[in-house]
Amino acid sequence: MGKMTVDLCGIELDNPVIPASGTFGYGYEFAELYDINILGTFSFKGTTKEPRFGNPTPRIAECTAGLINAVGLQNPGVEKVLSEELPKMRKVFHKKVMANVSGFSLDEYVYTCSKLDCCDEIGWFEVNVSCPNVHGGGMSFGTDPAAAAEITAAVKAAVSKPIIVKLSPNVTDIVSIAKACEAAGADGISLINTMLGMRISLKTKKPIIANVMGGYSGPAVYPVALRMVYQVSSAVGIPVVGIGGVSSAEDVVEMMLAGASAVQVGAANLIDPYASKKIIEDLPRVMDKYGIDSLKSIIGGAR
């Protein structure tokens, strides 16, 4: 069997498969179904300084080859994550975990990351500057190179762990934003977050989502994600985590050939809670089929 281990910002993963933030909670829900320590790691639910109820319902709309969500970063706030969620997670997941953090100001990003930095179980910060379904924050930072760089530099100065900046595809030049984050001290880049989309009900003649628009994810966005991973990984010298429509072991290998050092699985977890487990278990077959002895060796191979 080929070697599936990869390195992400100096931390070795048993395999490159990472459930994406917002699709895996804090892990313990999925631990009732299978041993989640099979995962490379996972990115836990997006955390903000204060508790957030999220957007009004309905928040989900089905689409061809995907779905639109406008959950709006619903979470209990960093204090409850520290006191309640992480202790429960610690009982079922025994590897380093990725902390996804969002904010509505530079100070909020710094505060939340600083509070979490003391947790031994956190291996990386995934700094989300790309959420498309909240007002007054998130994506507004990730669409401007200077703003993204400012957040990156401030968080980097405040924490001791590697920071991976999560970027939005809803821009004309994602490479310039990635390069600005790298120059500001980012240890890695993850992309893509969801694309902005909407659905309209033919019965009501109104938008289905109460927020009108939301983040489109699923297999339909995969070619866009793959293209952006290829572009960004070709332009920066730090690891890239590929996200967007990944639903098979073949998708993981293709993402890595495009330049991803690790690969996140998002919407597929909502369709099948065993999706990430199945992908990991199928990787040896796919590696054997295509003559791959080590996943590390194929990173950026398409270039």
DSSP assigned state of 211 = T
Pairing between β-strand 6-8 and β-strand 11-13 as defined by DSSP bridges = antiparallel
Helix ranges (DSSP H) in the chain: 28-31, 78-80, 86-92, 106-116, 139-142, 145-158, 174-183, 222-235, 249-258, 267-271, 275-289
- Residue in 6, 36, 1, 2 with CA at minimum distance from that of residue 242: 6
Residues facing 69 on adjacent strands: 60, 215
Rounded to 5 degrees, φ, ψ at 283 are -60, -45
| 118 carries an active-site annotation | no
- From the list 9, 113, 131, 181, the catalytic residue is 131
Catalytic residue annotation: 131
